[in-house]
């Protein structure tokens, strides 16, 4: 008996890992739709690609912060 194959191990990890909470999934959907819309609008206005990417990255940092805060245990 050897080590499990990589694909088998990954499938096992995927089964054992809990999925995102409803709050996290909600934030992720909100971030995806908002950032995609903002990217399209800024690009359509003719902004430089560097400016568009920087604006999206800055806003993405805010969503990542919100995800981190949502995952913190609530203080009693």
Predicted TM-score (pTM) of the model is 0.67
pLDDT one-digit tens code per residue, 56-72: 999 999 999 988 888 77
Is 6's pLDDT higher than 70? no
46: left (phi over 0), alpha (psi -120 to 50) or beta: left
* CA distance linking residue 2 with residue 31, whole number of Å: 43
What confidence tier does 3 reach under pLDDT thresholds 50, 70, 90? low
What confidence tier does 22 reach under pLDDT thresholds 50, 70, 90? confident
Domain boundaries, the chain: 23-76
* CA distance linking residue 6 with residue 62, whole number of Å: 35
Is 53's pLDDT higher than 70? yes
The single-letter DSSP state of residue 17 is: S
pLDDT one-digit tens code per residue, 26-39: 888 999 999 999 99
- What Cα–Cα distance (Å) separates residue 8 from each residue in 14, 16, 18, 19, 48? 10, 13, 18, 19, 45
């Amino acid at each position: 008996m050897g080590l499990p194959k990589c694909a088998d191990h990954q499938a096992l990890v995927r089964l054992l890992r809990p999925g995102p909470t409803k709050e996290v999934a909600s934030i992720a959907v909100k971030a995806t739709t908002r950032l995609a819309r903002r990217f399209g609008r800024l690009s359509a206005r003719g902004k430089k690609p560097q400016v568009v990417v920087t604006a999206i990255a800055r806003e993405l940092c805010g969503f990542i912060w919100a995800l981190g805060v949502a995952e913190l245990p609530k203080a009693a």
